[in-house]
Amino acid sequence: MGLVLNYEEAKLCEVKIIGNKAYNLLKLYPQYLIPRGVVVPINVTRGIIDGRILAKDVVRKIIESLDFNVFAVRSSTCVEDSKDYSFAGQFVTHCGVPVADLENACIKVIESAKRKNMKPYRDIAGATSTDIGVLVQEMLPCRVAGIMFTKNPINQRNDQVIIEAAFGLGEYIVSGRVIPDHIECIKKNKKYKYSLGNQTSGLFLEDRKLVDKAVINEVPILNPEEVMELLGIGIDIEKDFKFPQDIEWGIVDNKVYILQSRPITT
pLDDT digits (tens, 9 = 90+) for 35-51: 999 999 999 999 999 99
- Are 71 and 137 in contact by the 8 Å Cβ rule? The answer is yes
Quote the pLDDT of residue 90.
Answer: 62
CATH of 144-263, one of 3.30.56.10, 3.40.50.620, 3.30.470.20, 3.40.50.720: 3.30.470.20
Higher per-residue pLDDT: 91 or 103: 103
Mean pLDDT check: name the lowest of 128-137, 145-154, 184-193. Answer: 128-137
Question: Taking the CA of residue 143 as centre, how many other CA atoms within 13 Å lie in the half-sphere pointing to its CB?
Answer: 9
In the chain, which segments carry CATH 3.30.1490.20? 7-138
pLDDT reported for residue 117: 52
The rounded distance, in Å, linking the Cα atoms of 147 and 158 is: 17
What superfamily would CATH give domain 7-138? ATP-grasp fold, A domain (3.30.1490.20)
Give CA–CA dist 66/36, Å, rounded: 8
Distant-in-sequence contacts of 22-28, Cβ < 8 A, 24+ apart: 22/76, 22/133, 22/135, 23/76, 24/81, 24/241, 24/260, 24/261, 24/262, 25/135, 25/258, 25/259, 25/260, 25/261, 27/240, 27/241, 28/237, 28/240, 28/258, 28/261
One-letter amino acid for residue 40 of the chain: V
Q: What is the pTM of this model?
A: 0.91
Q: In the chain, which segments carry CATH 3.30.470.20?
A: 144-263
